[in-house]
Amino acid sequence: MASAILDGLVRALGLILSADPILVEITARSLAISGLATLAASLWSIPLGALIGLGRFRGRLFLRGVFNALLGIPTVTLGLVLYLLISKSGPLGFLHLLYTPTAIILGQAVLVTPILVSFIASSLEAVDPDVRNLALTLGSSESEAALAVLNESLEGALLAVTAGFNRALAELGIALMVGGNIRGVTRMLTTYIALETNRGEVALGIAFAVVLLTIVGAVNLSVNFLQRRLLR
């Protein structure tokens, strides 16, 4: 078995160096789908996270608790619920979304929403309240003060988006249930790893896992880099 892992590493290197067409295709699709999912989720999650993190309204803590709890939702469950919704006999069946990349994007966007909301809310709460007070004392309006707090928590927001993207890229349940792992259409890194592993192509499974980890590593490194430059 240890030799299979070594085989996988060697094979991963070979696949990457030779720009294997299947590897390139599947990686590009995974990046685009998970990237768009994270982007879409950011559109509603950042405002929502800001609202929960900065707002002072009834039920705020309850809402926060709900999003925290949703962090633990199994992707297979989310995939199953989405499947039942967009299946031809489901309430959204008329949209014909099943087995399309769009379905995976929607599913992953839902999946990473709690991550984004919770992380952003936390990072806003962690900002020293003096920042807001100072801004208000200096004559800022309420919304300008909020902006100052947002600015201070940029690091947290960046971490939230990165974590969300990593989660989307690495999840399997949704891609399998609503994407179907169709060759050339909805086959992603994780579904391909699962397929080849089931087929007994262990080395190939490891090789693609190495690629997945490399991407996640590279994304995190560049975000770190960006962050450091940004916060100078």
Partner 1 sequence: MNRNTTIIVAAAIVSALALGGIYILWPKANAGDTTLVVSTTTSLYDTGILDQIEEVFEAEHDIDLYFISVGTGLAITHAQRGDADMILVHAPSQELSFLENGYGANRKIVAYNFFSIVGPEGDPAGIADMAPNDALARLVEKGRAEEAIWVSRGDDSGTHTKEKALWGMAGFDVSALRDEDWYREAGSGMGTTLKIAEEVDAYTLTDMGTYLKYYTDGLISLEVQVGAGEELLNVYSALAINPVYNEDANLDDATTFMEFLASSEGQSIFETYGVDTYGTALFNPAVELLRSDPSSTIAQWIAGAAFFDGSECPEEYRVGDTELYS
Binding site residues, partner 1, CB under 8 A:
28-29, 31-33, 35-36, 39, 87-90, 93, 98-102, 105, 180-185, 195, 197-200, 202, 226, 229-230, 232
Nearer to partner 1, 105 or 163 (CB): 105
CB 56, min distance to partner 1, A = 29
CB 221 within 8 A of CB 163: no
Of 78 and 103, CB closest to partner 1: 103
Complex with partner 1: residue 69 or 218, whichever CB lies closer: 218
Q: How many angstroms separate the CA atoms of 195 and 182, rounded?
A: 11
210: amino acid identity, one letter: V
The DSSP output letter for 55 is: -
| Residue 48, helix vs strand vs coil | helix
By beta-carbon proximity to partner 1, the closer residue of 32 and 134 is 32
Tokens 């299979």 belong to 4
Least separation in angstroms between CB 213 and partner 1: 21
Which of 70/194 has CB closer to partner 1?
194
| Minimum distance from residue 50 beta carbon to partner 1 (Å) | 17
* Chain mean position to CA 5: 27
The DSSP string of 119-187 is: HHHHHHHHS-HHHHHHHHHTT--HHHHHHHHHHHTHHHHHHHHHHHHHHHHH--HHIIIIITT-TTTT-
Minimum distance from CB of 232 to partner 1 (Å)? 7
Q: For the CB of residue 33, give the shortest distance to partner 1 in the complex, in Å.
A: 7
What is the rounded CA–CA span in Å between residue 40 and residue 138?
36
